[in-house]
Chain A
Amino acid sequence: MKLGYAIVEAFRSMRRVPLMTTVAVGTIALSLMVFGLFLVVTYNVREALQEVKARVDVEAYLDDGVEGEALLFLRAEIAVIPGVESVRFISKDQARERFAAQYGDTLLALLSENPLPASLLITLVEDQRTGSGAEAVAQRVIPMDGIDEVVWGRSWADRLDRLILALTALSILIGLVVSLASVFVISNTVKLTVWARRDAIEIMKLVGATDGFVKLPFFIEGTLQGAAGSGFALLILYGIYGWVLPNLAGLVFLPSGVSGAIMIMGAALGGIGSQVSIKQFLEV
Chain B
Amino acid sequence: MSLLQIYNVSKRYEALAVLDDISLEIDRGEFVCLTGRTGSGKSTLMRLIYMEERPDRGQVIVEGYSSERIRRREIPALRRKIGVLFQDFKLLRERTAYENVSFALHVTGTPRREVRKRVTRALTRVGLGHKRDAFPRELSGGEQQRVALARALVNEPILLLADEPTGNLDIEVGQGITELFQQVNYQGTAVLMATHNLGLIENMRIRRVHLADGRLTGDIESGSE
Contacts and interface: CB of A to CB of B under 8 A. Distances in A.
State whether these chains interact.
yes
Interface of A: 1-2, 5, 9, 16, 199-200, 202-211, 213-214, 284
Given A207-B107, A214-B107, A199 B92 contact: yes
Nearest to A203: B90
Contact of A200 (B73, B92, B108, B155): B92
Given A208-B75, A213-B107, 16 more contacts: A1-B111, A5-B106, A5-B107, A9-B106, A16-B94, A200-B103, A203-B92, A203-B103, A203-B104, A206-B79, A207-B103, A207-B107, A207-B151, A207-B155, A208-B78, A210-B73
B84 interface: yes
B15 interface: no
Given A1-B112, A213-B108, A207 B92 contact: no
Of the candidates A9, A202, A207, the one having the most CB atoms from chain B within 10 angstroms of its own CB is A207
Contacts of B109: 1-2, 213
A206 B80 contact: no
B76 interface: yes
Interface of B: 50, 52, 73, 75-80, 84, 90, 92, 94, 103-104, 106-109, 111-112, 151, 155
Nearest to B75: A208
Contact of B84 (A5, A200, A206, A210): A206
Contacts of A1: 109, 111-112
Given A203-B103, A284-B52, A208 B92 contact: no
Contacts of B92: 199-200, 203
Contacts of B78: 208
Closest 10 A-B residue pairs measured CB to CB? A208-B79, A208-B80, A209-B107, A207-B104, A208-B76, A204-B107, A210-B76, A16-B94, A213-B107, A208-B108
Of the candidates A16, A200, A206, A284, the one having the most CB atoms from chain B within 10 angstroms of its own CB is A206
Contacts of B79: 205-208
A169 to B, nearest CB: 47
Nearest to A214: B107
B77 A208 contact: yes
Contacts of A208: 75-80, 108, 155
Contacts of A284: 52
B104 A202 contact: no
Contacts of A207: 79-80, 103-104, 107-108, 151, 155
Contacts of A200: 92, 103
Contacts of A203: 90, 92, 103-104
B65 to A, nearest CB: 12
A88 to B, nearest CB: 72
A170 B176 CA distance: 72
Nearest to B104: A207
A199 B155 CA distance: 20
Contacts of B103: 200, 203-204, 207
7 contacts: A200-B92, A200-B103, A202-B90, A208-B78, A208-B108, A211-B73, A211-B76
A156 B109 CA distance: 70
A211 B103 CA distance: 15
A284 B90 CA distance: 14
A249 to B, nearest CB: 53
Of the candidates A9, A199, A209, A214, the one having the most CB atoms from chain B within 10 angstroms of its own CB is A209
A40 to B, nearest CB: 41
A28 B169 CA distance: 44
B170 to A, nearest CB: 25
A9 B105 CA distance: 13
A241 to B, nearest CB: 40
A63 to B, nearest CB: 86
Contacts of A214: 107
A208 B76 CA distance: 4
Contacts of A206: 50, 79, 84, 90
A213 B80 CA distance: 14
Nearest to A2: B109
